[in-house]
Structures are given as structure tokens and as C-alpha cells.
Structure 1
Amino acid sequence: MSGHSKWANIKHRKAAQDSKRGALFQKLVKAIIIAAKEGGGDPGANMRLKAAIERAKAVSVPAENIERAIKRGTGEIEGAIYEEVLYEAYGPGGIAVIIEATTDNKNRTTPEIRALLTRNGGSLGEAGCVSWNFSRRGVITIEGGVDEDELLLAVLDAGGEDLANEGDTFSVYTDPSAVHTVAEALKKQGYPVANAESQLLPKTTVSVSEKNMAAKIMKLLDALEEHDDVQNVACNVDIPDDVLESLDE
């Protein structure tokens, strides 16, 4: 699970930065609209909606914005019609990249994503060109300061599949359909759950320890995630912690 765990760790580090961006509110609102559109407006019966609401609340999206997004998704009030789009691409050094976006105008979003890739050493690929190397997993982030052996037992008892020590945090892996059930079980046992969601994780990874190449890759990932329509970005890169930390200096 080392490849999965490394990408989850990069995702966690980036999430802390993303939370400072003003565009995050709109991204989360779009996620709520899509979830409500697909599974209904009751978070008790729609786990995807429940997860989207929890992520929005975690960064203090106002309750009225959340409620309005749910009603837009269910059609109770009018608003833009969003669709989900998945882009497969290559990044610097030929790394595999998958971009999950939510847009009200695919004809606008697609050329913008292509331009971002081109400007940052990447290129848009055909459907299926890299998705074969990714699988969707449930990922639960547990904050550090807990006993690893006890946490592993709790994870297995709750129906989780694996645990990875990321240093400052732990990543719990589950079937995507079980991620929120497992997260709730861990919360009830007192474990500090920081995040719980389904993610696309690479089956195999490419190790990048050269700082300049790592910087190019992270610049591309940042540029993609800053785009208003992009919800998630996954890639098959494995960047050592010391290299990641050097990029922050």
C-alpha cells in the first residue's frame, strides 16, 4: 500500500493549503448540488451528500449556502445545471493524471483544462489512457497521537481494510461504499477523524526524487486544483517527504 499511502499523504498536505483558497467554498457547493441531484436531498439516505455536507461544514461554509445547494440539486430552486467530467492526462515526465471536474459548460472547461496542462508540461489524453492504473478507494484520515496497533484493531473491527502510518497522520483504507460507516465507527471510539472520502488511488507509482521535476509536478497539480471546476486530482507520483518539505522552503 506504499504507493496509495504516499499519494494520500500528498493529498492531505495539499488539502491544508487548499482550505485557504476562496474558491473552495464554490467547489464544495457544487459537490453538494451534484450529490443531491444524483441521490436526493436527504443526507441520511445519501452518503455522498452527507460527505459533501461534512466537508463544507469543516471549512465553515454557511448553513444557508448548504441548504440552498441541496435545493438546487433536487430542483426545488432554479440554478445552473452541473455535470461531472473526468479528464485523463499526462504530466511532466509522463506521469499519469486524472482530473475530476464539475461544470455547467463542458465546452468552456475542457479547453481551459487542456491549456493548464500544456502550460505546465502536460497534455490531455484519450479516455482510458491512464484510468487503468487507478482504483477508487475509501480513505479516512486520522490525526496523529494515537496508538497504531490499537487503531489497526479498531479499523479492522469497523470493517476497514488497511492502515498506513503517514508520520503526522494515519490513512485508513476501505471499500468506497463503507468509508463513512467506518469513519463513524472510529469517531464513536474517540479517534480524531480529519477527513473521510472516496479517492482515485494509483495501483502503481513513479518515484520522483529530483527536486526540479517534483516542483514541476506540484506546480501542475496546484494549477489544476485552483481551477474553479476541478473537484479532485489524482496522479501516480511518489515524492519522498524530504523532497516535498524542501519545496515549501
Structure 2
Amino acid sequence: MSGHSKWSTIKRKKAKIDAQRGKIFTKISKEIIIAARNGGPDPVGNMRLKAAIEKAKAANIPNENIQRAIQKGVGGGEGANFEEFTYEGYGPGGVAILLYVATDNRNRTAGEVRHILSKHGGNLGETGCVSWIFKEKGVIIVDRLEANISEDDLMLAALEAGAEDVKAEEDSFEITTAPEYFENVRSALAEQGIPIADAEITMVPQTTVKLQGEEAEKMVRMIDLLEDNDDVQAVYTNFEMEG
């Protein structure tokens, strides 16, 4: 939900994957279709496709499903006519919301997103109203319990591979990279046998807004509903839970 407690957010999402596997399959398959359509079927020369395939494998999507989605994207068959765009808006307490959407019906998606936001104390904004708050970054999470490595050694390994920063949280290490160095850093850590709990190129907020009580509950519910929407591929906010 924010760049602050990234690992707790990821663990929450992983639990959600288990609970809603079919919906997750659909979203990742859509990402593979779009990546293959825009950049070709070879993941070696198509980093977006490579990342989508790795995400699919992490979610235990069968290989034949992955290949089918790639072929659908390349062949431009039925179900490959998705349009990509972003929505920007606000949640309770002025929290910034950035949504990445892929849909075959823009009017339907706009209505559904607007309804979710307005029902939970939020609203859509103009293009550019909150996107400036976020920066595209590679984020790699190492679980402290699984990784038998000191903070200094991990920092040395990550920085040598091109990482920008390593932040120690209570139960994890959060490594930040520029998008172009993301794959270098991930590969270097994997080669050294450092277990990676999660790795993705994401939008990281430069400032956060803390909420508590009813506002925080509304925000969590809003994020859940947005993530559940079939057309919303990614939800980024600068929401931070107070306390």
C-alpha cells in the first residue's frame, strides 16, 4: 500500500493470491498478452514480458497458460484488444491513488472505478494530479528469516550490483534500484544464493500520508475493491497505516 512497510504489503498480497487465484491468473495473463503484443514473444528482448512471466510462475500459473497468453498477444486474436491507461485520484485524507488499467471497455471501467472511490471517501482527479508523487523503481525484498546474511554483506552485494539503497526493516531488507539496474541486481543476488522473497518494478511514493481509525479502514477497503476489479492491473498509493 505504501513504500513504507513493503514486505507486510507483499505478504498480504500473497495471501490474497491464494484466496483469489482465478482472478490473479486473469490479471497476469492480461499483462502477458499486452507485453507480447507490444514487445514481441521473446522474453530475452522483452523485459516487460520477462517480468510478467516471472510473476506468472511465482503465482504457479501453468506454463501452457503462459504460452497461450503469449500467442494470443502476438496473434492479436480475441481478447487481445486491451487498451492501457492510468487513473489518478485521491482517497480519504488526501491519499494519492495511481491506477494502471487495461480494459476492453473504457466506459465500464471508468464507471466502476469512480463508484469505488466515491463510496469510500475518494474521487478521481485530473491527469497529472498525483503521478508526480511517484517514481518508477525496482524493489527487491529479502526476508530476514530466510536470508542468512548480515545487513552489511547484503548492502555490499546489492550496491556493487548497481542498487541505489538498502533499507533494513524489522523482518526484511528492502533494496531499491533504478529500473534499468533492476535485473542486474536481482541476478547478482540470486547468483550469490541470497533468497529473494519478492522483486518487481513498481511505483514508489516520495512522500506518504498516515491514516488511522475509520479513514484507514476506508482506505484499506478501497484498495481491496480496486485490486479486485478485473480491469485494474495495479494500485499504487502513498497511504501509510498510523501506528
Distance 1:56 1:103 in 2: 19
Pair 1:10–1:231, CA change in 2 (3 A): farther
| CA RMSD across the alignment | 1.8
User: Deviations 1:74-127 (Å, cap 9, x if unpaired)?
Assistant: 126543311212100110111111011111111211111111111111111110
Runs of 4 or more, structure 1, over 3 Å off, are 76-80
1:66 corresponds to which residue? 66
Distance 1:34 1:76 in 2: 10
1:14 corresponds to which residue? 12
Task: Provide the TM-score with structure 1 as the length reference.
Answer: 0.90
* Unaligned stretches of 5+ residues in structure 1: 244-249
Distance 1:175 1:202 in 2: 14
Aligned residues: 238
3-state DSSP of counterpart to 1:44: coil
Task: Provide the TM-score with structure 2 as the length reference.
Answer: 0.92
1:221 corresponds to which residue? 223
Pair 1:172–1:197, CA change in 2 (3 A): same
* Unaligned stretches of 5+ residues in structure 2: none
The alignment status of 1:232 with 2:239, answered yes or no, reads no
User: Deviations 1:202-225 (Å, cap 9, x if unpaired)?
Assistant: 1111122x2322211111111111
Distance 1:142 1:202 in 2: 20
Give the percent of matched residue pairs that are identical in Structure 1 and Structure 2: 46
Contact 1:6 1:239 in 2 (8 A): no
Contact 2:73 2:80 in 1 (8 A): no
The alignment status of 1:154 with 2:157, answered yes or no, reads yes
Cα distance, 1:7 vs. partner? Answer: 5.3
Pair 1:12–1:33, CA change in 2 (3 A): same
1:69-88 superposed matches below 5 A? 69-75=69-75, 77-88=77-88
1:247 corresponds to which residue? none
Contact 1:163 1:170 in 2 (8 A): yes
1:157-236 superposed matches below 5 A? 157-208=160-211, 210-236=212-238
Contact 2:3 2:205 in 1 (8 A): no
